[in-house]
Amino acid sequence: MTTAITVDLPPSVALVEASGGLPALRISTPLAEGEVYLHGAHVTGWVPAGHDPVVWMSKASRFAPTEPIRGGVPICFPWFGPGREPGMSPAHGFARLADWRLVGASDDDSVVTLTFRLGHEDVEGSAGAEKWAHPFEATYTVVMGSELTVYLAVRNPGDEEYSYEEALHTYLHVQDVTAVTVEGLDGARYLDKAPDGGPYLKTQSGPVTFTGETDRVYHSSGSAVVVDPARARTITVSKESSADTVVWNPWTAKAAAMPDYDDAEWPTMVCVETANALDNAVVLAPGATHTMSATYAVSHA
Ligand SMILES: O=P(O)(O)OC[C@H]1O[C@H](O)[C@H](O)[C@@H](O)[C@@H]1O
């Protein structure tokens, strides 16, 4: 591990050599246990005191400099999925594959704040960077305690306007997705990206339920609540400055097709993603900063 950390860490945060030899920050306070990799500034664990793990990780995740981590909170930037232009790759942009710089770490009454930065100079020469030649300075802030809040702020230091897509692609742990409902999206228009779903614009009626591969981009700026009766808990995802909520579960066939995802683990997770994608891409003027955030709160049902 060759990572140089130049900021002082509070006693509740330790730099460790984690899976694949990658550097990660382990958080341990009376309020929560957690883990964040520098690779992708990727939150891979959050266990608030008195609760089971909230953030889900695949047993089959890869941990390598050139691979995305499967689970946790991937940062999708500056495009979502295949992007809006033909030929954009890697999927979900280059931010989840980049090594972010830790620029701040603090503990305030057991609430830990970690701040990471990534700029266009950090991704020069990496896969996908040549397809998106706009200057940017991204700051990602993780605030972990009895709740988890993540902020993705992007500043345009250049002199031309541009647009980008973004998502906080959070994987949430559930006991049995077939019994789960996601509330808060009733009446929302959505793009159905599942193979047998369209793509068509549809309107959600009632809570979201899971009966097959689910891959939907909802036009919704409000909160969503994952109701998990088998685990007797709810997870509330509230957000700021996000016009889309993506709901994803790969189900059986897609799970089997993904090399970094165990075939049998699809019932145990659901992604509720805080996003600005497609027509809701962020337009950033020269000198401007846009900040999107998501907060996760868990309670016993
Ligand atoms: O396999 P990944 O590149 O991590 O993407 C996983 C999933 O992310 C999002 O939820 C997209 O809407 C899906 O279409 C995609 O399958």
pLDDT digits (tens, 9 = 90+) for 205-225: 999 999 999 999 999 999 999
Q: Give the confidence band of 121 by pLDDT, cuts at 50, 70, 90.
A: very high
The secondary structure element, H or E, covering residue 104 is: strand 101-108
Give the integer Cα–Cα distance in Å for 125 and 20: 23
Q: Give the confidence band of 90 by pLDDT, cuts at 50, 70, 90.
A: very high
pTM: 0.97
- Of the chain, the percentage scoring pLDDT greater than 90 comes to 95
Residue with tokens 């600005």: 276
For ligand 1, the distance from its centroid to the CA atom of residue 106, given in whole angstroms, is: 32
Given a contact cutoff of 8 angstroms between Cβ atoms, the answer to whether 189 and 165 are in contact is no
Read off the pLDDT of each residue in 56-85 and give the average, rounded to a whole number: 97
pLDDT attached to residue 197:
76
Read off the pLDDT of each residue in 78-104 and give the average, rounded to a whole number: 96
Q: Is it the case that residue 280 has pLDDT exceeding 60? A: yes
Read off the pLDDT of each residue in 54-71 and give the average, rounded to a whole number: 98
Q: Write the residue with the smallest CA distance to atom 5 of ligand 1.
A: 81
The yes-or-no answer on residue 92 being catalytic is: no
Residue with tokens 């808990």: 233
pLDDT attached to residue 18:
98
Ordered structural domains, the chain, with CATH: 13-300 (2.70.98.10)
ipTM reported for the complex, 2 dp: 0.99
Going from the C-alpha of 151 to that of each of 183, 222, 242, 292, the distances in angstroms are 23, 16, 11, 6
The yes-or-no answer on residue 39 being catalytic is: no
pLDDT attached to residue 9:
98
CB atoms within 10 A of CB 52: 11
- The residue from 92, 169, 173, 219 that is catalytic is 169
In this predicted structure, which of 1-10, 164-173, 213-222, 281-290 has the lowest mean pLDDT? 1-10
Q: Which residues pair with 55 in a beta bridge?
A: 172
Phi and psi, residue 173, nearest 5°: -80, 125
Name every protein residue with a CB atom under 6 angstroms from any ligand 1 atom.
68, 81, 91-92, 169, 193, 215, 246, 248, 271, 273
Instruction: Give the tens place of pLDDT for each residue, 165-207.
Output: 999 999 999 999 999 999 999 999 999 999 987 778 999 999 9
Residue of 58, 169, 214 with the most ligand 1 atoms within 8 Å of its CB, for mutation: 169
Given a contact cutoff of 8 angstroms between Cβ atoms, the answer to whether 17 and 23 are in contact is yes
What is the DSSP track for 23-67?
A: EEEEEE-SSEEEEEETBTTEEEEEEETTS---B-B-TT---STTS
Number of H helices and E strands in the chain, helices first, is 2, 22
pLDDT attached to residue 301:
78
pLDDT attached to residue 200:
85
53 burial level (CB within 10 Å; 0-12, 13-18, 19+): middle
Q: Is it the case that residue 5 has pLDDT exceeding 90? A: no
For ligand 1, the distance from its centroid to the CA atom of residue 277, given in whole angstroms, is: 13
Q: Give the confidence band of 86 by pLDDT, cuts at 50, 70, 90.
A: confident
Using the atom order of ligand 1, give the atom closest to the CA of residue 217. 12
Q: Give the confidence band of 3 by pLDDT, cuts at 50, 70, 90.
A: low
Going from the C-alpha of 283 to that of each of 68, 240, 288, the distances in angstroms are 26, 16, 10
Q: Which residues pair with 290 in a beta bridge?
A: 154
